[in-house]
Every structure is written in C-alpha cells, then in structure tokens.
Amino acid sequence: MYTSSGEFIDVHSELLHFDQVLELFIHIEKEGAVKEYCNGANAGGRWIFQIYSREFIELVSNTVEKILIESKHPGPVLEVMSGDGKLSEFLKPLVDRTMITTDAKTGRDNIEHPKWVEEIDAVEAHSKYDPSLIIISWEPFYSTTSIELVEKGTPLIWIGNPESCAVGSGISKLPSVQIDSEYLLCRHDNFTDRKHLSRFRAFLNLV
C-alpha cells in the first residue's frame, strides 16, 4: 500500500485486481485521506476520478466489443475528455479496434496529459474521426457535450457519478442501458460499506 518512501502507491501505475484496489481504498478511507489521495497525494501525483481494476477494465472492454459487433461501423473507438489517458491505455490491449485518445487539455484539475493524448475538443474529435463508439469518463460538472454527441447518433459509453458529472445536461434522462457491477468504484464512494455512486451507461443509437 505504501512505497519505500512512505507514500501511498499510485493505484493506476499498473492494473491491479479488484480485491487489491478495494483493500487499498478501504485503508485510505480509514486514514481519512480519500479526497487527498485522489487529488494527487499518491506516489504518481495522479488525479483519480473513476478507479480502475482489472475486472472493471475487462467489463468495459467486453461492452465495447459487443457494441462494435452490433454497430458494424468500421471507425475507431474515440475516448474524449480522457484526462491522463489511463482508461484508453488499459483498454487498448483488450479491444480489437484502433483507439484514439483525446482531451481539450483546459488545465482543469491540474491533470498531467501525456503527449500521446491528442489535444482536441470532443465535438471536433467526433467530426475528425467519425468513430464507431465514443467513451466519456467523468464528464465535467457543467458540461453538456455528451448530450450533443448522443444526438449525433454515435453509440456512446458514459461513466461517472451523476451527482458530479454533466449534472445539468439531462444525460441521465436519455434512454440508455445501465450496466451494474460491483467493480464500479469512484472517488466519492464509501468503500467500507460498499456504497458506490458511479454509473456505467451505454447510449446505443444502433440503426
């Protein structure tokens, strides 16, 4: 749980199993340090919103593959608002399709963006790449971009806490398939009592 220098490990430095991730966050919660940890007080200095485990990434990749089979669209999978790109990085070995990772890089939340994350607005990225599927994880609080993208007819996976992500957009009212799983973990959860607040939804728009 700690590095040799006494810092909490970076949970996203590698893909850990769910039980390991949950154990870590229960410990961090008991220390009263979840917010600080997720705001960069970890060995990687990483900001964390959705918390990834091997099982969660497999769940997302399986969902992606099912949507790609149904859609029959040849375009790439496009992640927008990707932050540090970790979701795409973990998904790429499991998804049999080109993945393009983008972010507007506005400086929000002091996130460090790798150079391979393309700097481009989400709507512009959609126009540029004509994707078969869009992935959004933790859309900003006041954003309405997901609504705009869903209305374009491209299947979209949306991951986040509805109380913190795109709150006024109305995205949660649109028809979608909600995928429930114990592997959904986020920075706002009560880890000890297993009260999970994030949602995993697929807006299919399949024709």
DSSP string, 95-164: -SS-EEEEE----GGGPPPPTTSEE--HHHHHHHH--SEEEEES--TT--HHHHHHHTT--EEEEE-TTT
pLDDT band at 5 (very low <50, low <70, confident <90, very high): confident
Report CA torsion sign: 111, 20, 18, 30.
Answer: negative
pLDDT tens by residue, 73-84: 999 999 999 999
pLDDT tens by residue, 117-166: 999 999 999 999 999 999 999 999 999 999 999 999 999 999 999 999 99
Q: DSSP letter at 188? A: T
Q: With contact defined as beta carbons under 8 Å apart, do 203 and 174 qualify?
A: yes
Please state the domain extents for the chain: 54-203
Report the pLDDT value the prediction gives residue 107, as an integer from 0 to 100.
72
Average pLDDT over residues 26-31: 97
pLDDT tens by residue, 159-204: 999 999 999 999 989 999 999 999 999 999 999 999 999 999 999 9
Distance set, CA 40 to CA 92, 110, 111, 161, 163 (Å): 25, 9, 9, 19, 22
Report the pLDDT value the prediction gives residue 207, as an integer from 0 to 100.
44
Q: Token pair 């917010």 is at which residue?
A: 35
Please say if the pLDDT value at position 205 is more than 80.
no
Closest of 198, 180, 207, 172 to residue 67, by C-alpha: 207
Rounded CA separation 28/48 (Å): 13
The CATH number for 54-203, chosen from 1.10.3470, 3.30.1120, 2.60.40, 3.40.50, is 3.40.50
Report the pLDDT value the prediction gives residue 72, as an integer from 0 to 100.
87
pTM of the model: 0.95
Report the pLDDT value the prediction gives residue 206, as an integer from 0 to 100.
54
